[in-house]
Structure 1
Amino acid sequence: GQAAPTRINYTEPPFEIFRSLEGVDFAARVLQTKGNVVISGRSAGQGTLMGIDNVDFSKVAWFRDDLFPAHPFRYLDLLGEYEQAAIVPSGIAEKFQLKPGDLVSVGLGDGMIEFVIVGILPYWPSQYPDQSPFVIANLDYIYDQVPLIPYEVWLKMKPDAKVAPIVTKLLDNGIELASVKDVRSELIAQSKHPTRGGVFGILSLGFIVSVLVSLSGYLLYWFFNLSGRIVQFGVLRAMGLSRKQLTGMLLLEQLFTGGLSIVLGLLIGRVTSILFLPFLQTSENIDNAVPPFRVVFEEQDMLQLYGVIGFMLLTGAGLLFLHIRRLRVHQAVKMGEER
């Protein structure tokens, strides 16, 4: 029989094809391969060597600015300044006392590649620093040192662009794909996950119930409060207090009682959210929470909340105006009558 090949040689298709695909804004070559990370002659264990083209990567990857000591593009600039430049995670830098200018090597199947550290940061797109250390380096420099290794092509798509026509076009051009991963379809699948639906359903139901209870309690309070004080209002009106002054007095009363409770409720709600929402992380994803869980106050949700509060206040004010308009002084003030 035929002897099994001892080596596989890969050929790289022209990259311009990916950039010119319909529905694609930007494309970037991204190499992710496992290797043995060596620092000062000591092995730091297996890590991920990630090779990128810094300009293309800046257009395709998504960065969250608040996760980095400096703007992420500053690190990409440093990669472009030095051919052998590399970025390493904070965890491994602290463990081995690394600083910019130190050397780090990555051993692959075809040899050892040496890099110079130019940046240290906690997170990087698609990497899990707690599971394995990463070394971010220039893709062309890696391919100067070792033979071609299969890489991924990251595409930044237009909002409504479909993936299937792209795959067909690439196959027509003779480019075979090992796998295709669409983040948008993954997000849709995750949004339909039963655990997520259950948690969001409980939160939504809790919000609706609390709003209904608050609204009904608020309206009942004002109705009985106004009904019980008709004699007082009548006396005040008979003493010369105008309807406008009486309305203003009651509105101020409403503002100082209801307004204070609303402000306190919003502050307590925000603090409670920051303290307790992280406990809603599901057990299956808590280990892979990179970047860490973040409590976000969506502007649209806050506007809905303000809308409900505004409706409650306007309803209370409307009830108040209606009650004062119907108030008849000669009926309210009668000798010996109490209500």
Structure 2
Amino acid sequence: MEAAARVLKAKGNVVISGKSIGQGTILGIDNKDFSEVGWFRDDLYPVHPFHYLANLGLVEHAAIIPTGVAEKYQLKLGDTVSVGFTDGMIDFSIVGILPYWPSQYPDRSPFIITNLDYIYDQLPIMPYEVWLKMEPDALVAPIVDKLQKEGIELASVDDVRTELITESKHPTRGGVFGILSLGFLVSVVITLAGYILYWFFNLSGRVVQFGVLRAMGLSRKQLTGMMLLEQLFTAGLAIGLGIVIGKVVSLIFLPFLQTADNVAETVPPFRVVFEASDTNQLFYVVGFMMFVGALLLFLHIRRLKVHQAVKMGEER
């Protein structure tokens, strides 16, 4: 276990300017501990999420609210929001406005992020969750056994890694990734075969040209360099255009492959990610194709006999 943080999730009646806007989720946290445990996507926030957590430490009654609520009710930093619990009403001062927060879904229910100790100062102690940041290969079972031996009762235990494994085995997800993987493999095989055949017939049909160039005094090294440059310019342009077009097409069409039941409520929003490992695999395939083409070129020029090529040109 690398870090742990207390997290209180409670429901309350959110009141703005004396009017209730319905039930909301109150998330009580310790800002420093949460910064070590919570996972944030930097591209979802106007500034780094740690700035919002730092603002929670400015005053004990600080609170962070979602952007949708702030825009709908014209709230700004410094305004007051009240939350009614079963045991009383608590006032909060807005110190941050952001679109998303880990584990919260703003379209379903408004949320308020505040200091856990401030809630416990105003209300009786309520059960809270403990979020753990685990090492990649760490097991949950030993932690549960240790806590039970210490006499700590656990209401439930959730492991995000188990949930990810379960989701990865979903038939719809497997079908989508299977189609994409099969399409990639077929494209690679066809492209490699076409590339090799192109260079084979191209070199075979230019034997006379190579013979004439060699008879004019062009060395094998110069001829090889010239053909390598030709290969680089033709194949390099195709590779560059392929990468650009592929990324553009991916950004346009991959969002249509979402497997969520309701795409409109997907939180956080769907994002197309170009993993460096996948891109490197593609470059390996392209590099292998270029190597095969260069090897065919080198072997063909090494086997070229000038007098036979020139004689063949005279016969034609």
Bin of the TM-score, shorter chain as denominator length: over 0.9
1:326 lines up with 2:303 in the alignment:
yes
1:137 lines up with 2:114 in the alignment:
yes
Question: Quick one: distance in 2 between partners of 1:320 and 1:336?
Answer: 24
Which one of 33, 50, 61 corresponds to residue 10 of structure 2? 33
**What SS does the aligned partner of 1:87 have?**
strand
Aligned to 1:4: none
1:106 lines up with 2:83 in the alignment:
yes
1:161 lines up with 2:138 in the alignment:
yes
1:291 lines up with 2:271 in the alignment:
no
Aligned to 2:182: 205
Aligned to 1:183: 160
Question: Quick one: distance in 1 between partners of 2:262 and 2:134?
Answer: 27
Which one of 211, 215, 225 corresponds to residue 248 of structure 1? 225
Bigger proportion of residues as helix: 2
Q: Which amino acid aligns with 2:48?
A: H
Q: Which amino acid aligns with 1:57?
A: F
| Correspondence list, 1:2-13, <5 A | none
Q: Do the aligned partners of 2:65 and 2:111 also contact (CA within 8 Å) in 1?
A: yes
| Correspondence list, 1:301-320, <5 A | 301-320=278-297
Residue 167 of structure 1 deviates from its aligned partner by 1.4
1:56 lines up with 2:40 in the alignment:
no
Aligned to 2:241: 264
Question: Quick one: distance in 1 between partners of 2:195 and 2:83?
Answer: 67
* CA deviation map 1:205-238 (0-9, x unaligned): 1111101111111111111111111111111211
Question: Quick one: distance in 1 between partners of 2:191 and 2:138?
Answer: 45
Question: Quick one: distance in 2 between partners of 1:167 and 1:148?
Answer: 23
**What SS does the aligned partner of 2:263 have?**
coil
Q: Do the aligned partners of 2:260 and 2:266 also contact (CA within 8 Å) in 1?
A: no
Q: Which amino acid aligns with 1:318?
A: L
Aligned to 2:126: 149
Q: Which amino acid aligns with 1:145?
A: Q
Question: Quick one: distance in 2 between partners of 1:105 and 1:337?
Answer: 97
Q: Do the aligned partners of 2:214 and 2:220 also contact (CA within 8 Å) in 1?
A: yes
Taking only aligned residues, the RMSD between alpha carbons, in angstroms, comes to 1.2
Aligned length: 315
Q: Do the aligned partners of 2:6 and 2:30 also contact (CA within 8 Å) in 1?
A: yes
Paired-residue identity, %: 73
* CA deviation map 1:255-296 (0-9, x unaligned): 111110110000100111111111111142635421111111
Q: Could you tell me which runs of 5 or more consecutive residues in structure 1 were left unpaired when the two chains were aligned.
A: 1-23
Q: Could you tell me which runs of 5 or more consecutive residues in structure 2 were left unpaired when the two chains were aligned.
A: none
Question: Quick one: distance in 2 between partners of 1:336 and 1:75?
Answer: 82
Question: Quick one: distance in 1 between partners of 2:88 and 2:272?
Answer: 45
Q: Which amino acid aligns with 1:278?
A: P
Aligned to 2:315: 337
Query: How has the CA–CA distance of structure 1 residues 171 and 288 changed in structure 2, closer, same or farther, with 3 Å as cutoff?
Result: farther
Residue 91 of structure 1 deviates from its aligned partner by 0.4
Q: Which amino acid aligns with 2:239?
A: I
